[in-house]
């Protein structure tokens, strides 16, 4: 790379100063920014010739690149002996204001890459144990957050989240609040099946169910429909007792938005819907296709931070104990069950991992404790735990998930 400066006959200018950045032929300027600490311009130049790119073996490619430091006042590309003068390479120690931690920071020059890195260690003073360590790029556009700042930021965020969670209502409290907001004429629920469109309305102190014989279409003018009263209920529990009794109800019916603008109205039924599906999840009494319908109904009554997260229950597909709620993986097994002996259909012991940083599924086969084969060609793998059939796959955001096959 070189910089072209203004002359008497040709003015040159870029967003960084009175000069232009010109990459070497076959290369391109991939990234450039002003370093927060020094004010130097940092320019990354990368090779565009794909023949020079190398496979890292971790599902990604390594692209040759060069890093330059430019003085924005002069437009000069600085050699290392010049730009390193802007920094101290002595190890620094910092004690936290509460006296609990010591942060050890060292800026390290990397001449082979023409750049610097920052190495940090965070020590708990009372125990003398290392809390965390890191090695990161020294040059940053924004102020770099050190390990100590990161620790206290996360602690503060956890406290805020903990306080917010504590203030959220339980399902029962949420229901009581919805009862207090109930007004005459409130539309409680609108839904449809293959023949009818239904709506449940609170009217004259009763919950009245109306229906009209009509196929639902997204362009249907629902205001023009001639609804007829089907049945009345003294309480919302009476409606729930009659209709929300088995899987056929949610499988055969689909919810509609309560308001035409897509916003939510009264959520009186949320408690009963969530509790009904919690019972199904406890028994694992659903297929994956049926779970799509479950999510349709739960999402219909979903409001962010409306109830405590633990209101939604999920259970291990093997031992049935409570696990973290992951609607993407409704039949996943717990960590204890995943740590048990896993085999394939031939009795070989299996273990699973990601191929690399970008994910993927890597299957390791063992016999008598010795690795006999590794395979990264399959997207999923049938496996057995305590004689039961499961499917192992790559998780959406990294890691491995093992779920009941059915």
Q: What is the mean pLDDT of the chain?
A: 92
CA distance 214 to 192: 9
What share of the chain has pLDDT > 90, as a percent? Answer: 82
Q: What tokens appear for 42 in the block?
A: 């940092």
pLDDT band at 7 (very low <50, low <70, confident <90, very high): confident
pLDDT band at 260 (very low <50, low <70, confident <90, very high): very low
Work out the average pLDDT over 216-235. 88
Note the Cα 59 to chain centre separation in Å: 21
Sign of CA pseudo-dihedral 236, 241, 242, 244: positive
- On the question of pLDDT at 351 being above 70, the answer is yes
Contact 35, 140 (CB under 8 A): yes
In this prediction, residue 58 carries a pLDDT of: 62
Work out the average pLDDT over 331-352. 95
What share of the chain has pLDDT > 70, as a percent? Answer: 97
Contacts of 49 (CB under 8 A, 6+ apart): 26
Q: What tokens appear for 118 in the block?
A: 């920052």
Q: What is the 3-class SS of the chain, one letter each residue? A: CEEEECCCCCCCCECCECEEEECCCCEEEEEEEECCCCCCEEEEEEECCHHHCEECCCCCEECCEEEEEEECCCCEECCHHHHHHHCCCCCEEEECCCCCEEEEEEEEEECCCCEEEEEEEEEECCCCEEEEEEEEECCCCCCCCCHHHHHHHHHHHHHHHHHHHHHCCCHHHHHHHHHHHCCCCEEEEEEECCCEEEEEEEECCEEEEEEEECCCCCCCCHHHCCCEEEEEECCHHHHHHHHCCCHHHHHHCEECCCCCCCCCCCCCCHHHHHHHHHHHHHHCCCCHHHHHHHHHHHHHCCCCCCCCHHHCCCECCCCCCECCCCCCCCCECCHHHHCCCCECCCCCEEEEECCECCECCEEEEEECCEEEEEECCCCEEEEEECCEEEEEEECCCCCEEEEECC
- Per the DSSP assignment, residues forming a β-bridge with 68 are 43
In this prediction, residue 6 carries a pLDDT of: 84
pLDDT band at 262 (very low <50, low <70, confident <90, very high): very low
In this prediction, residue 316 carries a pLDDT of: 96
First to last CA, the chain: 58
- Per the DSSP assignment, residues forming a β-bridge with 212 are 197
Work out the average pLDDT over 134-140. 96
pLDDT band at 398 (very low <50, low <70, confident <90, very high): confident
pLDDT band at 8 (very low <50, low <70, confident <90, very high): confident
Q: How far is CA 178 from CA 171, 188, 243, 308, in A?
A: 11, 11, 20, 15
CA distance 9 to 6: 8
In this prediction, residue 59 carries a pLDDT of: 66
The Cβ of residue 171 has, within 10 Å, a number of other Cβ atoms equal to 20
Residue with tokens 């708990």, as numbered in its chain: 124
Q: What tokens appear for 189 in the block?
A: 């629920």
In this prediction, residue 258 carries a pLDDT of: 52
pLDDT band at 261 (very low <50, low <70, confident <90, very high): very low
Contact 390, 405 (CB under 8 A): yes
Of 337, 312, 340, 338, which Cα lies nearest the Cα of 327?
312
Work out the average pLDDT over 323-329. 92
Contacts of 112 (CB under 8 A, 6+ apart): none
Contact 110, 116 (CB under 8 A): yes
């Amino acid at each position: 790379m070189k910089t072209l400066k203004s002359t008497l006959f040709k003015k040159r200018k870029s967003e960084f100063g009175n000069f232009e950045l010109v990459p070497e032929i076959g290369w391109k300027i991939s990234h450039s920014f002003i370093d927060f600490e020094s004010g130097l311009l940092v320019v990354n130049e990368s090779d565009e010739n794909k023949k020079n790119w190398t496979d890292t073996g971790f599902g990604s490619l390594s692209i040759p690149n060069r890093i330059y430091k430019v003085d924005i006042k002069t437009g000069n590309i600085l050699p290392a002996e010049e730009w390193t003068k802007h920094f101290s390479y002595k190890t620094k120690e910092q004690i936290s204001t509460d006296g609990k931690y010591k942060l050890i920071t060292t800026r390290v020059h990397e001449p082979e890459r023409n750049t610097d890195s920052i190495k940090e260690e965070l020590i708990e003073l009372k125990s003398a144990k290392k809390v965390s360590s890191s090695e990161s790029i020294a040059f940053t556009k924004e102020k770099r957050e050190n390990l100590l700042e990161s620790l206290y930021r996360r602690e503060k965020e956890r406290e805020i989240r903990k306080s917010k969670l504590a203030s959220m209502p339980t399902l029962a409290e949420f229901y009581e609040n919805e009862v207090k907001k109930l007004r005459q004429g409130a539309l409680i629920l609108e839904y449809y099946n293959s023949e009818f469109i239904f709506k449940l309305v609170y009217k004259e102190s009763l919950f009245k169910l109306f229906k009209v014989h009509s196929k639902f279409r997204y362009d249907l003018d629902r205001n023009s429909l001639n609804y007829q009263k089907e049945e009345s209920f003294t309480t919302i529990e009476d409606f729930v007792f009659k209709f929300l009794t088995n899987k056929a109800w949610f499988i055969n019916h689909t919810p509609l938005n309560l308001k035409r603008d897509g916003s939510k109205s009264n959520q009186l039924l949320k408690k009963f819907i969530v509790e009904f599906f919690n019972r199904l999840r406890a028994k694992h009494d659903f297929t994956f296709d049926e779970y799509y319908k479950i999510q349709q109904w739960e999402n219909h009554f979903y409001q962010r931070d409306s109830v405590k997260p633990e209101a939604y229950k999920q259970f291990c597909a093997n031992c049935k104990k409570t696990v973290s709620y992951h609607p993407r993986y409704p039949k996943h097994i717990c960590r204890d069950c995943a740590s048990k002996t896993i085999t394939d259909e031939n009795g070989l012991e299996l273990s699973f991992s990601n191929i690399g940083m970008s994910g993927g599924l890597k299957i390791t086969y063992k016999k008598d404790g010795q690795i006999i084969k590794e395979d990264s060609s399959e997207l999923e793998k049938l496996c057995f735990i305590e004689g039961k059939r499961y499917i192992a796959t790559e998780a959406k955001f990294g890691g491995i998930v093992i779920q009941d096959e059915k």
